[in-house]
Amino acid sequence: MIELLHEALSKAKPYLEKGKPAEYIPALLSANSNHLGIAVATIDGKYFSAGDIDVLFSIQSVSKVFSLSYVLQKFGTEKVREKVGVEPSGNPFYSLVQLEYEAGKPRNPFVNAGAIAITSMIPGEMADEKFLNLKNFITGISGNPVQMIVDVYRSEFDTSHRNRALGHFMKHFGVIDGSVMESVDTYFRQCAIGMTCEQLAQFGVYLANQGVNPKSGNTVLSKEQTTFVNALMSTCGLYDASGEFGIRVGIPAKSGVGGGILAIVPGKMAIATFGPSLDEKGNSIGGIIALEYLSQKLSLSLF
């Protein structure tokens, strides 16, 4: 397996120069475009990794998987579906247009609006209380603590007026219950959570194992809730490139503009990649190629 991971990275390396890190905040722009790492966590508790596996990066939109899992565990699928839809949007992840045409209900939990709606459900009045609850949930998965990267959070907080707009717009339609400011602030914090790609695979492997973390034995989600998350990752996980990813890789995945991708092979393993060089749609170039290679070699595609 290790050898395959190295091959996957070698395959992907030459393409890194075709992309660049996310530009919208300084803390992301300064990432090293040449970084590339991959890690596997299997459902029988084994770990494999290769490349830049010690680099801490902000998981950004991959955090949407964890916040969604948290509110699913806490409130169940039905309550979650009152707040967000489950269909692909056909629009960029940051778009406001669909919200206006559809009475403020986000298309799915992985577009920004949907993620903010999900985050607004996290218990707590203020952002620090909400975020503490989310952190405790994530820590509870495997027992390892996580921290947010303060620089990234500060950058997000100072600049992300588009996300604030999404929050106020949903508040107008009654989709967000509490304070817009605190919900959006919490969202910025969760996006700034730092992980290595080894950690990301380890934290995410419950989705490959019917909701149970294989090491700690903790049940994060029910089998049905796990299917819910994986199915959504399959149709909506890679922003407006989910269809393409389905063709090329064929497994549920969620990407983030920090360069991380968490991919799930149900019944087998979680694979996490990190490579901050992004393509035009905001997905890690190296990560996708490495995953495509692994998918072919190990016949991972579900299709």
Question: Rule CB under 8 A: which residues touch a copy of itself?
Answer: 85-91, 95-101, 107-108, 160-162, 164-169, 171-172, 180, 226-228, 230-232, 234-236, 240-244, 246-247, 250, 252, 266, 301-303
Give catalytic status of residue 67 as yes or no. no
Nearer to a copy of itself, 49 or 108 (CB): 108
Nearer to a copy of itself, 171 or 189 (CB): 171
Nearer to a copy of itself, 155 or 242 (CB): 242
Catalytic one among 62, 64, 89, 130?
Answer: 64
Give catalytic status of residue 153 as yes or no. no
Give catalytic status of residue 187 as yes or no. yes
CB atoms within 10 A of CB 189: 25
Nearer to a copy of itself, 17 or 177 (CB): 177
Catalytic one among 257, 277, 293, 295?
Answer: 257
Output the smallest distance, CB 225 to a copy of itself, in A.
Answer: 10
Give catalytic status of residue 61 as yes or no. yes
Output the smallest distance, CB 297 to a copy of itself, in A.
Answer: 14
Nearer to a copy of itself, 50 or 300 (CB): 300
Catalytic one among 49, 58, 61, 284?
Answer: 61
- In angstroms, the Cα distances linking 23 to 56, 150, 276 are 18, 18, 11
Query: Which residue(s) pair with 37 in the sheet?
Result: 51, 274
Output the smallest distance, CB 276 to a copy of itself, in A.
Answer: 23
| Rounded Cα–Cα distance for residues 179 and 203 (Å) | 29
| Rounded Cα–Cα distance for residues 38 and 50 (Å) | 5
Output the smallest distance, CB 141 to a copy of itself, in A.
Answer: 19
Output the smallest distance, CB 288 to a copy of itself, in A.
Answer: 14
User: What are the phi and psi torsion angles at 282 (to 5°)?
Assistant: 90, 15
CB atoms within 10 A of CB 278: 26
Give the residue from 180, 134, 140 showing the smallest Cα distance to 160.
180
In contact, 37 and 197? CB cutoff 8 Å? yes
Give catalytic status of residue 64 as yes or no. yes
Active centre residues (catalytic): 61, 64, 187, 239, 257
